[in-house]
Structure 1
Amino acid sequence: MRHTLLYVISGCLCLLGCRQEDSFLSNAGRVKIDFGVDDEVAVVASRSTLSDEESNALRENCKIRIFNNGKLVNRYGRWSEVPEDGILMPVGDKYSTLVVAGDSVPASFEDKYYKGTESFSVVKGQTKEVNVNCNIVNTLVKIEYSQEWNNLLEEAKVTVSVEGGSLEYPMAEEAKTGYFIAPEKNPVIKCLFSGKTKTGTDFSYENIIESVKEATLYTVTYSPSEGEPVPGNYGGGFFELIVDETPLGDPISETVKVYQRPVVSATNGSEKIDLSADMFVATGATMSPVFTFSGSTPLKTVIVESELLTGLGLNSNSLDIISEQQQFKDKGLNVVITEDKKNVRLEFGDKLNSYFIKESSYSMKFTATDTYDEIQEGATAKTREIVWNIIVSDANITSINIPEDRRYEIWSDKAVFYGQNLEGKTPTETLYFRYREKDTETWSEYIPAVTDDNYYKTAQITGLKPGTTYQYQMVEGTKVSNVISEVTTDAVHILDNYSFEDVSYEGKILRISKDPSNYWWDSGNEGSATMSVNVTSVDTSIKHSGNQSLYLKSQFVGVLGIGKFAAGNLFVGEFLGTEETYYGILGWGRPFETRPYALKAWVKYTPGTVDYTETDKISKGDLDIGKIYIAVGDWVGDDPSYPQWPVVVRTLGPKLFDPNSSGTIGYGEIEFTETLQASDGGMVEVEIPINYENYGGFNRVPKSIIIVATASKYGDYYSGSTSSAMWLDDMELVYEESKLSK
């Protein structure tokens, strides 16, 4: 099934009386467009020239957009679509063209992406040749290793990543160049240097290059540091990193020193402690943890916060190791600080073992701050914060927070609780869970645990409150684990301007927002308003609450019988523009990460008899049909001109929304095939259930929401009745199954 709406703008009316070719040519010219790839780009990309095969492939994989005064007026999906004798266009001097070629993948060793723009004018009766020079858009990254590593490292690689993709550069392979596209809102490249030393020690350190630029080659060189060439207890201080930033085609380069945030690591004897996870120790266990803090610049402070410190005889539960090192030493905790203050080590010895006698849990927070702000003008100091939790237990099992890859099991009114065996332990009695709302005293009855992969879990716990944190524990027989885990149910999402009380005008265009430059809902008004027609407006005479409702009125937009039928409409997103004069381009979907059960709305609908039709889906004389639908999903934008929008609808073609696309995880709709109103002529509440079962929504979490309402279902085919109207008020998402009416 396909859905969208028709949006008509008055640009089509500018050509009134000029439909015949002869009359059009009296005020038009032709444009021939060609493009090429800059040779210097190919050289920097380690390719002296592009082969004929590559050039032809680029041409067939290119896209051409033509704009007039900033508005899209023409588009071609490949070079073969462009007319050989030129594009016939109205006279004007504010034209521009955009050509993109290649593949815009986030990361690749092969695929490159080119872009070029050129302004031009169209002269009456003449043919204008426009040559567009396309330059590479990618950020290029080349990784180089110092030969000294061959004597120090058994194996190593650098994983370079941007949001959406990554490439690996093994040290053992020949250096090669990768092509990346970093998002405009997150222009960051991450370099993860990892491997194993000749002595068998694993290492892994991440550095970040911020504010990376397009059409720029970054040569990243890793070299061993003097004096500490092998990673060990000194964190990230064993290598130096130099980044050479070279604009493509520009011989000038800039060397940038990359400083990483301080590194915090820990060991117990020869074993590394994973500080990102809770540490479970059995009652009576012994350990001698050593914590190491290192920075690319001297460390300013290393703060330790824990309820254990005063128990160890220190005078506060929050102390700076650097300034208070003597106090730590006086209490039997060894502190080692290197002369350059880039490395600090705290050795607990056996001082913590007295806390492992009985079941309990403890926490330590470490905050290391460097002096980057003192050596880099305008910079701020870099900080690393780590919280280490220790759970002392003689139980065999423990509850755990819901694994991230099972986040989909959390809803607004239900969730699943998780647990697992403690390392080396095997339960011998029946396993249960119990739970309670946080900050309350009473636990629930025991709930049986079931086995799922390497986890224990409950069946789905229903009847929970939205946006509420719950605590839970595992139970073996009658013995309750001392570990308490938490889960927070999804909060209720209230739709922006849900009762449509806030409206404003941007010129003639009605915006469904107080601020006409910032709106969540939109409609086709941007096109029709230029003819002083707002297909979506407000009505103060019919409403459910407040001062007004939203009024969707299908209409013919044009003069002297020339124009198009336009459906009264509303959607979540933004009217982006037009192409080929009057075909609308719409961006659909706003950020959204919860799963409601239904959409409720107050509606009045009066259908008219169809008087315009350009499709066999509905005929003149039929009764028009109104429609509202909602979808949630994890769609990924695939429109090259508007990749930031989850779904882009184009009425040219048309390219319409398909609820059965792979990105949909929940969908619901309602159609109005007859008049809908209360006995007094007012509004009626309708409920639209959202179907997740048929769309994979039980094991996926959405990223976007789409809501669409139209007074004429087939408006996307220019078909419907100019007498059809829909009133909308008080839209609400339902998040608790108990509140559904059916």
Structure 2
Amino acid sequence: MKKFKIWGAGLILALAGQACVSEDPFSSGGEGTLKLSAEIRSEITTRAGDLTSDPTLRDKCVVYIETSRGLIRKFKGLDNIPELISLKSGKYLAEAWTGDSVSASFGSKFYRGMQEFTIADGDNKALSLKCNIANVVVSVNPDALSLGITDLKVTFSHSRGSLEFTEDNIRDAKGYFMMPNADKNLSYKVEGLKADGTPIKKEGIIQNVERAHEYVLNITAEAGGNNQGGALIKIRIDDIPLIEEVVEIYGRPTIEGVEFNIDEQVVGIPGTPEGEKNAFTDKIVYVRGYEGIYRLQLRGGQNFQELGHIIADLNLIQSDINKAELEAHGITWDGPNDVYDAATGKRMAEMRITFKKAFFDHLPQKDTEYRLDIIARDNQAQPKDRTKTLRVATSEAAVEVKAPVEAAPAPDPENEPMAVLSKSATLTGYVMAEDATDYGIKYRKQGDSEWIRVAAQTTRAARTEFTVSLTGLEPNTTYEYAAYASGYDDGEIQTITTESVFVIPNSSMEEWGEYQASTPLGTKTVKFPGTERNFWDSGNAGAAAANDILTEPSSVMINSGATSVKLTSKECGLLGIKKFAAGNLFAGEYVRTDGTDGVLSFGRPYDGSHPSKLSVYVNYRPAVGSGKGANDSYIASGQMDQGQIYVALSTEAVEIRTKSSNQKLFNPDDACILAYGQLTLTENFGPDGGLEKIEIPIEYYDRAKNHKPKYLVIVCSASKYGDYFSGGPGSTMYLDDFELIYDK
């Protein structure tokens, strides 16, 4: 896949081609199971220490299982990972994230782990996924405080954040950086005052920093220097690979029924002979806990208390329990016994409780259910609890009546960002009534009285689950919805709010401003679209060194208002050297000039909505190529130039570096890119003297189903191959009235 740039007086931007489509990874027919656990290495240190697990990391942990086609499983919170996960035969990637992904922080840490695995037919595989710290760590050697420098301040930074160490925190603070995709280096700056009040300032770069490394900045006096006041200082950076202390994070105790679902009511009539309808049967419950079971309580609800039953509140892990008395009530148990968990390589304790038919038959008939809490606490360093409730109905009046029809809760915009769009929504419902024939979802705008009914489109799991698509909705509007089924009461009313429609700032190019930029030839005035540099920018800052301009307002061709934007490719001269430069416009920021190269940020903060197209009015007139490109696969001499426009939605701003030694270009296949669309213009476009509307379809990748877009990228170039100094001087593109189109 080729990667394209736009050169503009030392500035290179990035364009890219189409995304690749993966093959089906599954072999035919086979199936297996996975038992997945995770370890979070929640501290990093250069010395051994006693570490304990952090429960907040467990709750925040998000685990993904992916194939080459995209995400197939997602679990939030380690305690919510099923005991066994069924998977088709094939190759997979398991990945886990937890903590806080903050660009720069003194306290927020981020952890990540991933591992590939394969499932074959009949496999029962165990996988332990280790999450290690993903931060770059910085600190300042506190010996610097003894040099006599006053107002000492050390600042570490990259393109998205910075941290300041001062006399107040140098002794014990550590800084944690998440590195942007494009950044490989950290900058540092040391400032302070000598004893005589003269300022000290030293700056430098820590090259090619690595995760799980601590970079310690040492400030020392040079030989012959004056330690009293830091007359002469020097800087040394120690790169210390950190020893990662493993903190083993395991699940809470498990409480499961054997051949029955403990979360569902146990129903029967006391005294009914075994084998007959409505007879109770023995129920076995397994309890397992890591590092042993510290406590196992049976705590009866009010009905048991009224009976004076022995299980009103009983701890099975104590020596003075009268087993014979408990067995007389129909309850037996054994354990705890040691078992080995192959997934974690960890010892577990297991107990088995049997509630015999006699236990249930001894319960008097009641119009309400009996509730017996089973409470387990394990013996880990930070003990964890789990409670399950055994619910027993001894009469028809006590039997739980399930709602005949119900709608699933409103989709979470963070985890299911494409379920509710600007003009449509996909909702799920459940039908419990076996004889229901006409069912679906009804909805209305909040405040309206009339309902609109939409019949179920698909059904799964023996007709108990169905989906419905709502269309024709209004953006940024709250709707009420509920499940319905003919002949039954409607389900509970819930709400969703549709996405808003993002309006591109200064979309018609009416507003223009200026700012002062540093160039190799001094400070220059640079023109940009807008009154503030908060959305659009261009390569004008690079071209300004040659006293030239590539991107400017124009009143020659407009669709609305008084101005459009004109992009012109030129041969720009700098110190007698001329190079081809492409006219360009992009949503983002020209960050700085690195020598004669550019550092840019593509993408502006975005509202998370999901447009289907980018619309813009265009006039394009390519010029004949100069033939100065790298080879004829670009724009050869005499060949017509090409223009390009592309749009992308991303989870983060995309850092662009044009210097060949540290190059980072835009790639639509990067993991942060959720959607992409592009158009290449290979000939004249639009009528002479006028603009013509184009619409660029936006294609969403599979990963967009689970990640919300946070940045909008738009890039336009009058010369597609300007990065190779290849194109036609004089190629011109006019643009007006950008708009995101929402069909759904």
TM normalised by structure 2 equals 0.49
TM normalised by structure 1 equals 0.49
